[in-house]
């Protein structure tokens, strides 16, 4: 039975392979501080994963070229190890473990999406590795008592609450009828919780409450119901693909509602992809370039927008901006801690209180950014050119909200 | 031959036992390898030995995972409160609670999928060929969508597993603990299947594959064997699912539990790559597949699925019978097959 010999050889070959692969402890290599990140380069979040990665890289280049990070009288540069989590939470958790255990990473950056952040957080927490994340907004991330998780963005349930309040206000303070459809994932379900809370608070009635499958390609059934019941507000959330699907089918079926509230309009480049069909869609966003926050690395939002476009060839959606902000938080924390010890850096992170081009950042004990409100913008078109205009909060409003949305027959 | 066998099994067992200490950084990857081997071997019970291509084994994987998680949590705390909004209150398992919950959960994670396999199998194992394959494909997809709508197990929000108890050991101990449980599972699966294939049961499965009608005509209750075969697979796959859930720490209905596009396809691929219908094929296939994928994952970021696609094409074109099948064709005498040289030459000259 020579086949057994073959198997023995095979096993020893594997053993040899494993033992020769080098394990580098990459916490700090030379003058480089190594950060680890698993982002979605393939799969359903690949577009937003790319935005996240570009946001990280843009900030790393900027910080490194403007003098790097000064810790204990020495200047360090940032470097990031990336892995592709394939938009899969199982993978993401494995990769986090791999970054920490094999690559020796001591400082983590978040992945894209709440679901993947939820998958990674237990791993970083267990290994006591601080993680600054910019793309996990799910409320449940901040209710578990995590000590090593810091999020620069506002929680998901705040996304569309404002929109409901706005609709009630426009209705003369009277309760409204809400139709809503949410994808089955951590983020969208949290947005839903926010809307349900807002509905309770204002005494509004939810007439349609649909759950949509992942990889949203068709929501005609929901829209048919909307056409029949004529609610005041239609709320849709399902990442970029959900936003694109919703607009396409609303236009095809000529669904008339007074207000259409969504998420991920800018990440999906809605105004460009669907042009006039997307007009009047109301979108929640973490950031908009016209906001007047400032910092010394990127200047302000307008400048960030311009320079990002020059480098990557497209206007940065808020996913890129918040990712860049995460690096600014890391730099600030390292310098204040004046140490590379991960626990000291964690304590410094917890005390963060700063302004970036993206907004103010200050963490609650649960690691949530409590210093920055959400913004709402509406897609508005002039001729064939469509743009996102901030309509709420009023402090930064660049345009008046159009309400109710004109009927399709009048457009 | 006996001695050779002993050396082989001894060295494999030795490798498995010392691996986490020689390659501490790769503990997790090797644990996953054991899980993958279990998936490939159990798929092979249907796909290889019995000739029923199933895409539904992922159903048992997911069910096992959810059952294990729910038991671990539900034994000590109200499950609904745990999952509601992802754990608004923070519950902490003490060490005895954690291990009690874990082992009870793991046992149930084997038994309940087994019962489900029996019930479903009774209904659908009458289907043959493509019809069976499509039907099981539907099962896996439907299960994911259904799980995504059940609030008590977190629905689309997913479910977080209880963390490793704080007061005993560190994360290294946790990885070692799960490593050895995974290893025990793979050994148990292998030993059980090796034994099962050596009995009448294995012969009946092969008879069903080769000619089901004839087998029936010979007086074998094929249905009974088909159902038992599926229940065996479901038992081991369910336990693998329960372990996987604990190792990943976060259960997502479609991506982690009922992961049809990943694990559901991988288990088929691994068995075919190694050579279906053999005992060692799935083991070799899974090992090769895992190494290949991890390698590409590390060194050619973003290209791993392209490479995987190429691998599939190469397998289908050049190794339709898998690595074991190819070896068998090349070196039949090493598999104990007697080749009559004169006969072989005669065939060549005939052409």
Q: Give the tens place of pLDDT for each residue, B281-307.
A: 999 999 999 988 888 777 776 677 788
Lowest mean pLDDT among A275-279, B207-211, B283-287: A275-279
Q: Please give the mean pLDDT across all residues of chain B.
A: 87
State the pairing for strand pair B250-251/A375-382. Answer: unpaired
* Average pLDDT of span A165-185: 90
Cβ-defined contact of B155 to A184 (cutoff 8 Å): yes
Residues of B in contact with A90 (CB under 8 A): 244, 248, 252, 255-256, 259, 262
Cβ-defined contact of A143 to B86 (cutoff 8 Å): yes
φ and ψ at residue A353, rounded to 5 degrees: -155, 95
Cis before A70? omega within 30 = no
* Average pLDDT of span A317-327: 93
Suggest the residue from B18, B82, B144, B158 to mutate for an interface test with chain A (most A CBs closer than 10 A): B158
Residue A24 has pLDDT above 60, yes or no: no
Per-residue pLDDT at B282: 94
Q: A28-154+291-362 with A158-285+374-410: one CATH topology?
A: yes
Integer CA distances (angstroms), B166 to B106, B114, B162, in order: 21, 33, 11
CA angle B72, B73, B79 (to 5 degrees): 145
| B315 to chain A, closest Cα gap in Å | 19
Q: Does domain A158-285+374-410 have CATH number 3.40.50.2300?
A: yes
Burial class (CB in 10 A: 0-12, 13-18, 19+), B344: exposed
Q: Mean pLDDT highest for which of A79-93, B194-208, B305-319?
A: B194-208
Please give the residue of chain A at the shortest CA–CA distance from B337. Answer: A1
Q: Which residues 6+ apart lie within 8 Å of A132 measured at CB?
A: A108, A109, A110, A150, A151, A152, A326, A329, A330, A333, A349
Residue A23 has pLDDT above 70, yes or no: no
Per-residue pLDDT at A2: 56
- What DSSP designation does B253 have? I
φ and ψ at residue A160, rounded to 5 degrees: -115, 5
Q: Is B301 in CB contact (< 8 Å) with chain A?
A: yes
Q: Is B154 in CB contact (< 8 Å) with chain A?
A: no
- A130-167 per-position pLDDT tens digit: 999 999 888 878 877 788 999 999 888 888 888 898 89
Lowest mean pLDDT among A138-142, A261-265, A277-281, A294-298: A138-142
Cβ-defined contact of A184 to B4 (cutoff 8 Å): no
Cβ-defined contact of A126 to B164 (cutoff 8 Å): yes
Q: What is the pTM of this model?
A: 0.80
- Measure the CA–CA gap between B64 and B255, rounded to whole angstroms: 15
Residues of A in contact with B88 (CB under 8 A): 143
- Measure the CA–CA gap between B322 and B311, rounded to whole angstroms: 12
pLDDT band at B31 (very low <50, low <70, confident <90, very high): very high
Write a three-state SS string for A217-277.
Answer: CCCHHHHHHHHHHCCCEEEEECHHHHHHHHHHHHHHHCCCCCEEEEECCCCCCHHHHHHHH
Please give the residue of chain B at the shortest CA–CA distance from A92. Answer: B248
Cis before A404? omega within 30 = yes
Q: Where are the domains of chain A?
A: 28-154+291-362, 158-285+374-410
Please give the residue of chain B at the shortest CA–CA distance from A86. Answer: B302
Rg for chain B, CA atoms, rounded: 22
CATH of A28-154+291-362, one of 3.30.1330.10, 3.10.450.350, 3.40.50.2300, 1.10.540.10: 3.40.50.2300
């Amino acid at each position: 039975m020579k086949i057994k010999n073959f198997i023995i050889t095979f096993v020893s070959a594997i053993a040899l392979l494993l033992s020769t692969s080098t394990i580098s402890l990459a916490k700090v290599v030379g003058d480089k501080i190594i950060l680890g990140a698993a982002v979605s380069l393939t799969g359903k979040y690949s577009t937003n994963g790319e935005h996240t990665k570009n946001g990280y890289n843009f900030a790393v280049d900027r910080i490194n070229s403007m003098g790097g990070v000064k810790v204990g009288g020495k200047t360090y540069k940032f470097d990031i190890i990336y892995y592709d989590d394939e938009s899969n939470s199982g993978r993401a958790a494995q990769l986090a473990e791999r970054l920490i255990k094999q690559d020796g990473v001591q400082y983590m950056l978040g992945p894209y999406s709440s679901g993947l952040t939820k998958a990674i957080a237990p791993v970083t927490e267990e290994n006591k590795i601080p993680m600054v994340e910019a793309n996990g907004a799910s409320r449940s991330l901040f209710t578990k008592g995590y000590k090593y998780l810091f999020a620069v963005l506002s929680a998901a349930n705040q996304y569309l609450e404002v929109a409901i309040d706005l609709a009630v206000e426009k209705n003369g303070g009277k309760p409204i009828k809400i139709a809503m459809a949410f994808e089955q994932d951590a983020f969208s379900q949290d947005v839903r919780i926010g809307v349900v809370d807002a509905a309770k608070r204002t005494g509004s009635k939810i007439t349609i409450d649909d759950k949509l499958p992942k990889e949203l390609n068709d929501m005609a059934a929901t829209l048919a119901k909307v056409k029949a019941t004529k609610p005041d507000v239609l709320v849709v959330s399902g990442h970029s693909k959900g936003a694109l699907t919703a607009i396409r089918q609303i236009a095809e079926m000529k669904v008339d509602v007074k207000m259409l509230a969504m998420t991920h309009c800018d990440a999906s480049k809605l105004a460009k992809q669907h042009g006039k069909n997307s007009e009047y869609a109301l979108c929640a966003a973490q950031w908009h370039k016209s906001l007047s926050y400032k910092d010394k690395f990127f200047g302000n939002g307008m400048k960030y927008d311009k320079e990002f476009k020059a480098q990557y060839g497209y206007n940065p959606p808020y996913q890129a901006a918040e990712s860049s902000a995460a690096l600014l938080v890391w730099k600030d924390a390292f310098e204040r801690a004046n140490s590379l010890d991960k626990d000291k850096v964690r304590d410094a992170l917890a005390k963060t209180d700063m302004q970036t081009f993206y907004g103010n950042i200050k963490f609650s004990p649960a690691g949530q950014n409590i210093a920055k409100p959400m913004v709402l913008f509406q897609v508005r078109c002039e001729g064939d050119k469509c743009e996102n205009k901030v309509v709420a909060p009023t402090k930064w409003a660049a345009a008046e909200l159009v309400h109710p949305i004109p009927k399709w027959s009048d457009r | 031959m006996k001695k050779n066998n002993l050396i082989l099994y001894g060295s494999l067992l030795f490798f498995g036992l010392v691996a986490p200490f020689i390659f501490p950084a790769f503990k997790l990857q090797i644990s996953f390898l054991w899980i993958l081997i279990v998936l490939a071997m159990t798929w092979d019970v249907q796909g290889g030995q019995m000739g029923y291509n199933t895409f539904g084994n992922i159903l048992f994987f997911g069910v096992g995972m959810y059952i294990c998680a729910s038991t671990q949590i539900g034994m000590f705390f109200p499950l609904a409160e745990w999952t509601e909004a992802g754990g608004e209150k923070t519950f902490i398992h003490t060490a005895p609670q954690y291990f009690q919950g874990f082992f009870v959960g793991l046992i149930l994670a084997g038994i309940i999928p087994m019962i489900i396999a029996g019930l479903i199998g009774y209904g659908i194992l009458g289907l043959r060929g493509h019809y069976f394959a499509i039907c099981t494909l539907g099962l896996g997809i439907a299960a994911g969508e259904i799980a995504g709508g059940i609030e008590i197990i977190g629905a689309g929000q997913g479910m977080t597993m209880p963390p490793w108890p704080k007061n005993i050991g560190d994360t290294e101990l946790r990885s070692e603990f799960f490593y050895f449980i995974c290893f025990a599972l793979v050994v148990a699966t292998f030993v059980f299947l090796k034994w099962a294939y050596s009995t009448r049961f294995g012969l009946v499965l092969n008879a069903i594959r080769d000619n089901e009608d004839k087998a029936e005509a010979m007086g074998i209750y094929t249905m009974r064997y088909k159902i038992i075969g599926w229940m065996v697979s479901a038992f081991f796959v369910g336990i693998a699912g329960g372990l996987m859930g604990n190792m990943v720490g976060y259960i997502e209905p479609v991506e982690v539990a009922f992961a049809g596009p990943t694990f559901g396809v991988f288990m088929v691929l691994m068995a075919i790559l190694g050579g279906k219908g053999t005992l060692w094929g799935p083991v070799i296939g899974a090992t090769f597949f895992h190494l290949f994928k991890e390698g590409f994952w590390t060194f050619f970021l973003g290209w791993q699925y392209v490479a995987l696609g190429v691998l599939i094409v190469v397998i289908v074109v050049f190794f339709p019978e898998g690595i074991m099948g190819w070896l068998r064709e090349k070196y039949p005498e090493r598999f104990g097959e007697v080749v009559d040289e004169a006969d072989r030459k005669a065939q060549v000259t005939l052409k």
